Structure 1
Amino acid sequence: MNGEKAGRTSPVPAEETPALFTGPRWFIPSAVLHELDPGAAGNGRRPRRTARDWIVDFSCFLFAVIVGLTALDALRQNPNVPPGLAVLDQVVGALACAAVWLRRRWPLGLAVAMVPVTFVSDTAGGAGIIALFTLAVHRPFRYAAWVGGVNTALVPLYYWLRPDLDIPYVVSVPFAMLLTVAIIGWGMFVRAKRQLMVSLRDRARRAETEARLRAEQAQRLAREAIAREMHDVLAHRLTLLSVHAGALEFRPDAPPAETARAAGVIRESAHEALQDLREIIGVLRAAEPDDTGRPQPTLGALDTLVAESREAGMKVSLDLRVADPAAVPSSVGRTAYRIAQEGLTNARKHAPGTEVTVSVAGAPGDGITVCVRNPAPEGEVPPVPGSGQGLIGLTERATLAGGSLEHGPTPQGGFAVRAWLPWGP
């Protein structure tokens, strides 16, 4: 698929597409550059020659000409070659040298064509060497093996028809065969080096892509954690606002003292909600330092949470059986606090007026058990809006901490949330 079609089928913004090759290109072979950056050529055309390609092609052409001139000098000194045949040999050799410029476009075709050409023309020997070398570089080994095998098979017949005046037949034939094998071996070495270069670059590109995906996944997980934290923090505050605002709405004739107390709870809950929201938004902003100075709540803040709920009019019983709450790891303590907070929030919304029992027990090596229970409410409970994701988030939070969480109705008609969190020795 060419670059234009790929761009139509998978439109990816330029800033999201990693650069395939960002280094200097003039010294990179066009074939390798095309492997590193398939869209460089565009529209399915051959990649343009780089400056290095021009230098190499000219050097190959010059090599073919020099070998041809050397063979021409030896041809003129050979009395067994008629003048007409020598002229024809020169014409064929000149055409073969000119065909060297086509070696990148048709490496296999040029190498196959050079087999009979080099057999009938001495001056085309340099072009034949270049064609065989190019075939070994640009095509798999089987093509170079077939063409090289045919060349090797024709070597004894060639020197039998055209014996060298200076070198014996038994020396010329092995030397020519060894030269053919050396040319193919050199070409395969260059090909392997190029493939290694492309492989390493492709591996680096995949590593960059995987690193970018890991970074994006880490950001997504961090945002999900912040979203859970936002739900846990704000749900408690906003539930207080909803309950007390509903009480003021349905009891307009309440005593002034009770109305003032509810208004104070609403004001305090709104202030705390704004503070918590400001902290979370500050975390989302990478450039904004976290200078609020408010530590994250842990198990030691559970008494404050219960007291706050009692001030809001809830009946809460706390059974804390942890010898030293401050010794609990911060991550475990924070998770336990959030579980208790979410349990109180749900009880306030769905079972108002009931007595909620919060039990926390544990020791190093045994883990921590958190249980929030409430009986069934009396009478009809007015519906309170909610997302329904609190318990799902708590289950995920407990699982990530290495523990477990269960929730559901009790046989007596109430509701219970029970979690176990690890606490290493």
Structure 2
Amino acid sequence: MEWGKTLRTGRIADLAIAVGSAALCVTVSFAQSHGLGVYPRLASPQLPTLSVDGIVAWPVAAFVHYGTLAVAGSALLCWRRRWPVAIAVILIVASTLVSLIPAALVALFTVATQRSARTTAVVSALALLPLPLYLAFAVPPSALALATTVTGGVLVAAAVIWGLFLRGLHERSEHSRAQALWRAEQIRQREREALAREMHDVLAHRLSLLSVHAGALEVNQQATPQQVSEAMGVIRSSAHQAMEDLQQVLGVLRTPLQPQEHSPEPPQPTLADLPRLLAESRRTGMHIDLDQRLDDGSAVPDTTARTAYRIVQEALTNAHKHAPAQPVRIDLRGTPGAGLTVEITNPMPATGRPLMPGSGSGLSGLTERTALVGGTLTAGRRGQSHHVRAELPWPA
């Protein structure tokens, strides 16, 4: 429907331009018949007139002749978008014989807006060629011939310059539209990357808890009904939360992002949520020793606090997967202006026990996340322990 409406509007506009051009051609024709030229005519056919009683000469034949040519020439403008160069050449050549210069200027304008600069230059040169020829062969040379030549040159130049100007505006508009689409895609890509990091941190931790509890139920055949109930509650809660997180990420990935669109972000964890995180891991039997020495934990910037939370969460996830049943020590210390330091240490397990698989992308994501907030992160084995240390900014 919208395309059909646009097509009808374009046809009506072309018809209106053709009618207006025909009227201008007739006007220019009568002006030139009275010695007022706006574009050189290299040939002027002698047209018959009709006399009444031999006294009054009525240019009926001339009117019919010029009007027919004006309508026929201007009617070609209805196809100027499809064949702009051919229509322009026909009308320019015809303008050297009859007064079709208004229609030729419209066609020349269309060439400038639709075709390359080289094609526009060739057609413009063709339109300017009659000017020096007319001036050179004008007999006798006169100020009227010079004025006609100058007027024709100004009209041709104006049509070409205006067409190039509008073409430039259109190209800049298209470029801006392409840039906007590119920026929107970049924003979406960054949001996907950030979402991937968040989902890795959250889902990996929840699935590791689920696996630990399920493994405990499998190994501990003598568990009391209360222990089984607690473990099943944690498994059910972790699975439910994991499903909600997956639904959230799928919803974001399926929804096309529009420029200047900002969807509300879900609440992000901070250091205030750290006790709940540690409690979840302690329920699996993990021994966690937290040493927190912060001047004012509530004053830690949200971005820094969220990054610290994710670092502890990923370290606990790795401990669940690669060092089960090993104690974990967490040190948090910092002051405004000096920064926030996060250290997580756990002994490495004895070999011979199958461990949960891991790709190492979690620590890579943490390194990137830490760098984005202006901090540094190191992780690796030190002797018989695994050590994670992060230095995060805490402005005064």
TM-score of the alignment, normalized to the shorter chain, above 0.5: yes
How big is each residue's C-alpha offset from its partner over 1:192-224, in whole Å with a ceiling of 9 and x where there is no partner?
223322322332233233223323332333233
What pairs up with 1:168-207 in 2 under 5 angstroms? 173-207=142-176
Residues 133 and 184 of structure 1: CA distance in aligned 2, closer, same or farther (over 3 Å): farther
The residue number in structure 2 matching 1:422 is 393
Q: Distance in 2 between matches of 1:135 and 1:414?
A: 81
What pairs up with 1:68-147 in 2 under 5 angstroms? 70=34, 97=69, 100-101=73-74, 105-108=86-89, 111=92, 124=98, 126-127=99-100, 129-130=101-102, 133=105, 137=109, 138=111, 140=120, 144=124
TM-score, scaled relative to structure 1: 0.67
The residue number in structure 2 matching 1:33 is none
Q: Distance in 2 between matches of 1:387 and 1:270?
A: 26
Query: For 1:350, which of 307, 317, 322 is the aligned residue?
Result: 322
**Aligned sequence identity (%):** 35
The residue number in structure 1 matching 2:138 is 158
Residues 250 and 231 of structure 1: CA distance in aligned 2, closer, same or farther (over 3 Å): same
Contact 2:92 2:127 in 1 (8 A): yes
The residue number in structure 2 matching 1:58 is 22
Query: For 1:238, which of 202, 207, 216 is the aligned residue?
Result: 207
Contact 1:351 1:377 in 2 (8 A): yes
Question: In terms of mean alpha carbon deviation, does 362-371 or 223-232 score higher?
Answer: 223-232
Cα displacement (A) at 1:181: 1.8
Specify the code of the residue in structure 2 equivalent to 1:396: E
Cα displacement (A) at 1:231: 2.2
Structure 2 spans left out of the alignment, 5+ residues:
36-43, 50-61, 81-85, 113-119, 256-265
The residue number in structure 1 matching 2:241 is 275
Cα displacement (A) at 1:264: 1.0
TM-score, scaled relative to structure 2: 0.71
- Does 1:385 find its partner at 2:354? no
Cα displacement (A) at 1:75: 9.1
Q: Distance in 1 between matches of 2:127 and 2:189?
A: 57
Residues 147 and 226 of structure 1: CA distance in aligned 2, closer, same or farther (over 3 Å): closer
Q: Distance in 1 between matches of 2:15 and 2:333?
A: 76
How many residue pairs get aligned? The number is 343
Q: Distance in 2 between matches of 1:403 and 1:273?
A: 33
C-alpha RMSD of the superposition: 3.9
Give 3-state SS (helix, strand or coil) of 1:362's partner.
strand
Cα displacement (A) at 1:113: 7.0
Cα displacement (A) at 1:22: 9.3
Residues 233 and 94 of structure 1: CA distance in aligned 2, closer, same or farther (over 3 Å): closer
The residue number in structure 1 matching 2:189 is 220
Specify the code of the residue in structure 2 equivalent to 1:328: V
Give 3-state SS (helix, strand or coil) of 2:279's partner.
helix
The residue number in structure 2 matching 1:400 is 372
Cα displacement (A) at 1:63: 3.7
How big is each residue's C-alpha offset from its partner over 1:58-100, in whole Å with a ceiling of 9 and x where there is no partner?
23542464356557899999xxxxxxxxxxxx9xx97994784
The residue number in structure 1 matching 2:263 is none
Q: Distance in 2 between matches of 1:421 and 1:313?
A: 30
Cα displacement (A) at 1:54: 1.8
How big is each residue's C-alpha offset from its partner over 1:18-58, in whole Å with a ceiling of 9 and x where there is no partner?
9xx89943575xxxxxxxxxxxxxxxxxxxxx213321442
